[in-house]
Amino acid sequence: AQFFDALGDVQSDSLLALIAMANADTRPDKIDVGVGVYRDGAGNTPILRAVKKAEQLLWNSQQTKSYVGGHGDRRYTELLRPIVLGRHADDERIAGLHTPGGCGALSLGFKLVAAAHPDAKVHVGTPTWPNHVPVIEAAGLNIVQYPYYERLQTCIRFDAMMAALESADRGDVALLHGCCHNPTGADLSDDQWRQVVDVVSRRGLIPFVDIAYQGLGRGFAEDAAGLHALFDACDEVIASQSCDKNFGVYRDRVGSLWLKTGNAAGTKRAMDHVVQIAREMWSMPPDHGAAAVRIVLDTPELRADWDAEVGEMRDRINRIRGAIAAADPRLAYIGGQFGMFSMLPVTPEQVRKLREDHAIYMADSGRFNVIGMADAAIERFIAAVVETIN
Ligand code: PMP
């Protein structure tokens, strides 16, 4: 036997298998709503106009590719601050750090939790973004599930979620999606957020908010309203943020980690640990994507154009949601959900039929990317789904 034979086989990632299957399908009108990237009316995932211009400016002006340091691009973090923190931007108990994407921020945040409290349990909604689980486990933390969404009833299991959080132990971490819940599209209402904020603060839980789609749901301030309410109510808050969707820079890996503790000195001390943990993980974050984001946010014309383009993306998402919702009463719930994903009330057998009979590719869970289809495909998608669920 060879040295690495000890590893055995990897359990195949079903989403990657789905992407491969969709790529291999030669039917010209195939629709791939499995993978989670934005697509425009023509079916492309474009580089945003402002980002393209910022990259040109960067290419012209950049004089060195020397190391950026453990904090990454500090100006990037500073410019992101009012967007992520809103009215809390001036709170010196909150600090942020540039990370490689939202994934990097999640890993770093959970490693910080584990460094402080290796026995803390992390309460995670069911279902959640599947990668949350290995990231938390890799930090050495234990996961406790709380009910979040009932797929066939198409509703949030709010009472069960609240009951679970009520019985969590003080010092446990509660992972919450800031907006545009992945995979369900089901976001907490304002009133539900109030109740969650109440239980989290009353029970002494540490909220960990994952906000990867800010601006793509209702708007920048609205999408962070839950996070901001937690900053109001809690002395200790963690947030992982991603620019990969709202700047369309997926492969450039652009994100940030935010931390609030009870006082500025405590936050500074914890952030020193964060930088040290990052040093052991990736040493320093990649610079290019964050530099482009920084230039967009620092250049008024580019910033205005970016704002407009995020608005166009959001409107397109919500327009397609409206069209699907209007097609059948059983799909009406999709109009009240947000972000790139929703789940259809379909069986794996029906998912297979959609794939084989209609060349429509989605995960077995019925999760589909609402804006994964070109304009020309919307009608056909809706007709196939309505036929399948009836
Ligand atoms: N959190 C959620 C809920 C996500 O859906 C994603 C990306 N699919 C991420 C975090 C990570 O984003 P990134 O690509 O920036 O690492």
Instruction: Name the band, by pLDDT with cuts 50, 70 and 90, for residue 390.
Output: confident
- Amino acid residing at 213: Y
Average pLDDT for 21-49: 94
Residue 15 pLDDT? 79
Q: Which residues pair with 277 in a beta bridge?
A: none
Task: Look at residues 364, 342, 375 and name the one whose alpha carbon lies nearest to residue 155.
Answer: 342
Residue 171 pLDDT? 97
- 100 C-beta closer than 6 A to ligand 1: no
Closest-CA residue, ligand 1 atom 2, reads 212
Closest-CA residue, ligand 1 atom 12, reads 102
Whether the ipTM is more than 0.90: the answer is yes
Q: Above 90 in pLDDT, residue 247?
A: yes
Q: Above 80 in pLDDT, residue 12?
A: no
Atom number of ligand 1 nearest to Cα 101: 15
- 286 C-beta closer than 6 A to ligand 1: no
Lowest mean pLDDT among 8-12, 54-58, 250-254, 350-354: 8-12
What's the mean per-residue pLDDT of the chain? 96
Task: Look at residues 155, 110, 180, 137 and name the one whose alpha carbon lies nearest to residue 321.
Answer: 180
| Beta-sheet pairing, 142-147 with 149-150 | unpaired
CA 187 to chain centre: 12
Share of the chain above pLDDT 90, in %: 96
Secondary structure letter of residue 127 according to DSSP: S
Average pLDDT for 160-182: 98
- CB burial of residue 253 (10 Å; 0-12, 13-18, 19+): buried
Alpha helices in 36-176 (DSSP H): 49-61, 74-85, 101-116, 132-138, 158-166
Rounded CA separation 194/192 (Å): 5
Q: Which residues pair with 210 in a beta bridge?
A: 177, 240
Q: Above 80 in pLDDT, residue 320?
A: yes
Residue 387 pLDDT? 95
102 CA to centre of ligand 1 in angstroms: 5
- 184 C-beta closer than 6 A to ligand 1: no
Dihedral of the CA atoms 110, 143, 204, 272 (nearest 10)? -10
Ligand 1, residues 106, 129, 250: which to mutate, most atoms within 8 A of Cβ?
129
Residue 288 three-state SS: helix
Instruction: Name the band, by pLDDT with cuts 50, 70 and 90, for residue 308.
Output: very high
Residue 186 three-state SS: coil
- 178 C-beta closer than 6 A to ligand 1: no
Q: Which residue has the tokens 């034979």?
A: 5
Residue 232 pLDDT? 98
Q: Which residues pair with 257 in a beta bridge?
A: 97, 240
- 226 C-beta closer than 6 A to ligand 1: no
Residue 7 pLDDT? 94
Rounded CA separation 74/278 (Å): 15
215 CA to centre of ligand 1 in angstroms: 14
pLDDT in tens, 196-208: 999 999 999 999 9
175 CA to centre of ligand 1 in angstroms: 14
Ligand 1, residues 131, 179, 247: which to mutate, most atoms within 8 A of Cβ?
131
CA 229 to chain centre: 19
Atom number of ligand 1 nearest to Cα 36: 8
Q: Which residue has the tokens 């290796």?
A: 118
Q: Above 80 in pLDDT, residue 13?
A: no
Average pLDDT for 331-356: 96
Instruction: Name the band, by pLDDT with cuts 50, 70 and 90, for residue 76.
Output: very high
Q: Above 80 in pLDDT, residue 77?
A: yes
- 242 C-beta closer than 6 A to ligand 1: yes
112 CA to centre of ligand 1 in angstroms: 19
Instruction: Name the band, by pLDDT with cuts 50, 70 and 90, for residue 385.
Output: very high
Q: Which residues pair with 32 in a beta bridge?
A: 361
Q: Known catalytic residues?
A: 129, 210, 212, 245
* pTM, rounded to two decimals: 0.97
